[in-house]
Amino acid sequence: MSEARSRATCLGRSASKWANPMKTGHPITDVANAMNHARLIGLPPIKYERDQRPDGISFSDYKVQLRAGMLPKVVEERRPADEDLDVFMFPQVWGSTALGFGGMGGSSPRQANTVVVMCRKVQAAAIYFAGEHAYTVDLKDSNVHKQLHDDIRDRRVPSRSEATQRYASHQAGALPTSPGASP
C-alpha cells in the first residue's frame, strides 16, 4: 500500500477522494479559501473614525486637545481581519453538480461544504459553495439577517438564483452580489 493511500485510509478517507479534492471538497480547504476571499474581496471594507493628530503640536498639547474632543476626525477603512469574522460551515446536498451556482451540471445529487463568513462590523455575509464564492448578502435589514440565521440553523442556504428573491425581498433594490462584482 502506498504511503499516500495508507495516510488517507488512516484519516478515514478513501485514497480516491484525496486524489481529486474537487470531488467532495475538503473542509479545511473550503474554510480557508472562503475566509481568504471574504477578507480580501468578498466583504466590504470596515470604515471607522479616528482622531487626527495635527502636525507640529507637542504631545502634551495633543493630549489636552484629545481629552477636550477638539481634534478633527478622519474616516479610514481597512479590510476585515480574522477576528472580525464569524464562520459557519455545514454540508449541503445539491440537486446537480452545478451546486448552488445554477447553469449546466450533471444530474446526480452532490454534497458540498457550504461556508458562510459573516462580519458584524460591516453587517454583511459572504456565502461559499465548495470553497467558491457564490454571493454576498447585505445584513443591515433585520429581516434579512434573521432569514440568513434561520437558513444557517436549518443548514440550507439558498442557491444564487433563490437568494436574489429570498434576501432581496426586504431590501429596496439591493440584491446579493455575485462573484466578480465589486462588493
Q: What single string gives the DSSP state of each residue in 56-69?
A: T--HHHHHHHHHHT
151 pLDDT band (50/70/90 cuts)? very high
Q: What is the pLDDT of residue 166?
A: 84
Q: Is 87 part of a structural domain of the chain?
A: yes
Per the model's pLDDT, the better-predicted residue between 107 and 57 turns out to be 57
- Bridge partners (DSSP) of residue 119 are 85, 124
- Position 38 scores a pLDDT of 93
Residue 179 lies in a domain: no
CA angle 78/84/85 to nearest 5° reads 120
Q: Which domain holds residue 35?
A: 24-44+81-166
The total domain count for the chain is: 2
- The dihedral built from the CA positions of residue 135, 139, 140 and 142, taken in this order, carries a sign that is positive
My answer on whether 59 and 122 are in the same domain is: no
Do residue 115 and residue 58 come from a single domain?
no
Q: Which amino acid is at 1?
A: M
Cα–Cα distance for residue pair 43/177, rounded to 1 Å? 10
Residue 103 in any domain: the answer is: yes
Task: Report pLDDT for 153.
Answer: 93
Residue with cell 440553523: 153
Does 51 reside within a domain?
A: yes
Is residue 153 in a domain?
Answer: yes
Specify the pTM. 0.71
For residues 60 and 73, membership in a common domain is answered with yes
Average pLDDT, the chain: 77
pLDDT at 106: 65
Residues 128, 34 contacting (CB under 8 angstroms):
yes
CA dist list (Å): 25 to 45, 49, 143: 29, 40, 32
Looking at the fold, whether 52 and 109 belong to one and the same domain comes out as no
* Same domain assignment for residues 56 and 125: no
**159 domain residue, yes or no:** yes
Whether residue 106 sits in one domain with residue 58: no
38 lies in the same domain as 65: no
Give the pLDDT score at 24: 57
177 occurs within a structural domain: no
Q: Are residues 74 and 120 in the same domain?
A: no
